[in-house]
Amino acid sequence: MEVQTNHNRQVMLQRVKTYWLVGVLQESLHGAELIDLAMTYRTNAVASPVAANWAQADYHQPDNLLPDELFDTPLPIGTNITEVYDEAEGTLLIMGEPGAGKTTILLQLVSDLLLRAQMDGRHPIPVVFSLASWANNMPLGDWMVNELANRYEVPRRLGQLWLKNGDLLPLLDGLDEVEQEHRVDCAQAINQFRQRYMTMPTVVTCRIKDYEALATRLNLAQAIVLQPLSLEQIDQYLESMGPRLAGLRAALQNDMTLRELAESPLMLSMMTLAYYRMPENVALSLGSRKMGRTLLFDVYVERMARYRGGESLYEPEQTVQWLGWLAQKMSQFNQTIFFLENLQPNWLPREQQRQFASAMRTRLAGVFVLVGLLAGLVGLFVSDWRALLAGLGAGLVAGGLLAFFRLLLVWARVSWFRIETVETLNWRWLRALLGGGLGLVGGGLLGGLLWLAGRGLEPPISGGWVILLALIGLISQTVAHALERDEMKMRTTPGQGFVRSAQNGRLVGIMTGVGTAVLLGLGWLITNWANMPVTGATFWPFAVGISLYLGISAGLAYGGLAALQQRQLSRVLAQQQLAPADYIHFLDYAAERNLLRKVGGGYMFVHLLLLDYFRETANKNDA
């Protein structure tokens, strides 16, 4: 158990490192050095831990008080965020303007905390949670367990255990990203969580104006505010990037509006990339006119989409259109990281959702009709035309059960409107023995009833069917009970969940189908040895049909269906011009141009401001 516990911990630490430090922090720097951001303490932004009824501490600032920033206490330039975290004993609020570097400085803290957790097995696991997906007044602990399952692929019972034992160190990014009508409720949920888990370190980030607008103050030990970059810091940063940016440095000296935009680390980074990625012979007159944020994004996106060594696999208009649709859907479903595995039929318009489900039903039902027809053809070969009709009838029944009642196997009901990947499978021997035993008994009883009911027929039904049906119950219920999704796995590449689902489906389907055929063959030999023979004309069509049915059904239930649904959904999206045919290739293309970032096996926009830009652009085009 200790070995498994340590394994789970190490997998989670590596996952946080891969997602956030490699996928986000390093990519956001583009090879440049981190800028030492100026910080100030703003102690009156948080509730006092000893205040009465602090979990619901309401804050009302009288109009005659001076602005909060007049009481800020500056920290020396170069102060490490981890020093501030330690001084606050692990409970800290990080505030700043949009693009001020809140997430970047949070990830610098994550880097240090990960190092501590790797060196000390008792140190809690630092985990970044994006508050954008919090809703419905859910208790923060329950929401965190859901996020661990949905974003980090951590089994819920393991997430609950980590939470209960205090093994988590939550870093809650983006309180301002919660829907405005739920923001106060979210702040209160954080306070309630802090009341329940008083010793658990907790860090929260939020935009200044959004936090000041709240009537609830967070019960944290300390708050800091990230300050705008000074002209000296901006100039030093651009100088460190080389002589290529001399024109941008001159433009910032001459354009006050541009210089104000550059006080934001995000905007400075975008100016740098937009300017640096241009061909040598193209001039971008940044200083010739006043530039608002939208214009800056226009320039940034246009340059990133168009230029990369002359290579242009996608037209800039297509790139903006597809990223705009993605941004719309990520906002609609409260996603900050996009995994291909999260792409669902409900991303389609309602009518196309119905068409998608109808197409899947028809195709899979047709597969089982063909299985019945194949079994019938075998019967026709070894017997007569009645076997062909029986096989076709069985195929129609199997296809109808799937199409109209969503029954794939006795134990599996499929969902046409949700794609559920099967990425990890464990074999449980105790459950296999229990399920197999029950299936053996149940199948034997069914065979016995069939034998009793058919004794008066001419010719009578053989008692060998007791053995054959018992074996079918054995293998079907063994598969149903023994296979379990449990172990944590890493999604290190995009779409890996569907690749694993397809692999699991093929493996389970082949093993179930071949296993059924082998057991039935042995059972047939036993029936002849026990003087309860089943005629070959009856056995062979049955064996072919049931082996194919169980094999295909098990393969679909344990991953194959998800892989087929994903392929069908990709075709529909491409036909509707909502996404390219090769979505992963396009997302990688956008990541190369710094429009997206790869985060483990997923993608996120380089900043939520850029996501907002693409969403608003798409909304304008739809209007």
Average pLDDT over residues 257-273: 77
Q: Please report which helix (H) or strand (E) contains residue 409, including its range.
A: strand 407-409
Check pLDDT > 80 for residue 149: yes
Residue 142 has pLDDT above 90, yes or no: yes
pLDDT, position 24: 66
Q: How confident is the model at residue 486 (pLDDT cuts 50, 70, 90)?
A: low
Residue 407 DSSP class: E
Query: For residue 210, how many other CB atoms are within 10 A of its CB?
Result: 17
User: How confident is the prediction for the chain on average, in pLDDT?
Assistant: 84
Domains of the chain (ranges, CATH numbers): 2-227 (3.40.50), 231-312 (no CATH), 350-575 (no CATH)
**How high is the pLDDT of residue 347?**
93
* Average pLDDT value for residue range 218-247: 85
Cα-based torsion angle of the residue sequence 207, 209, 212, 215 in order, rounded to the nearest 10 degrees: -90
Q: How far apart are the C-alpha atoms of 506 and 553, rounded to whole Å?
A: 11
* CA pair distance 84, 219, nearest whole angstrom: 17
Q: What is the pLDDT of residue 289?
A: 40
Q: What is the mean pLDDT of residues 141-166?
A: 90
Using only the alpha carbons of the chain, give its radius of gyration.
31
Mean pLDDT of the region 108-114: 92
pLDDT of residue 356: 93
pLDDT at residue 311 tops 80: no
pLDDT at residue number 223: 93
3-state helix, strand, coil in the chain (%, to 5): 65, 10, 30
- Rounded CA-CA distance 404/390 in Å is 21
Phi, psi of 564 (to 5 degrees): -65, -40
Q: What percent of the chain has pLDDT over 70?
A: 87
pLDDT over 60 (residue 487) = no
- The confidence score (pLDDT) of residue 225 equals 94
Residue 426 has pLDDT above 90, yes or no: no
**pLDDT at residue 323 is higher than 50:** yes
Question: From CA 323, how far away is CA 342, in angstroms rounded?
Answer: 16
Return the closest-CA partner of residue 419 out of 549, 567, 599: 567
Structure tokens at 279: 């061909």
Lowest mean pLDDT of 49-53, 122-126, 528-532, 619-623, name the range: 49-53
pLDDT band at 288 (very low <50, low <70, confident <90, very high): very low
d(CA 99, CA 269): 10
- For 490-534, how does the pLDDT look when each residue is reduced to its tens digit (9 = 90+)? 667 888 889 999 999 999 999 999 999 999 999 999 998 888 888
Higher pLDDT, 3 or 432: 432
DSSP 71-102: G-EEPPTT--HHHHHHHTTTEEEEEESTTSSH
In this prediction, residues 401-406 reach a mean pLDDT of: 86
pLDDT exceeds cutoff 70 at 34:
no
First to last CA, the chain: 57
Q: Which two tokens stand for residue 589?
A: 């293309």
Asked if pLDDT for residue 26 goes beyond 60, the answer is no
Q: What percent of the chain has pLDDT over 90?
A: 40
Which two three-digit tokens encode residue 164? 């209960």
Lowest mean pLDDT among 42-46, 237-241, 391-395: 237-241
Residue 135: exposed, middle, or buried by beta-carbon count in 10 A (0-12, 13-18, 19+)? Answer: middle
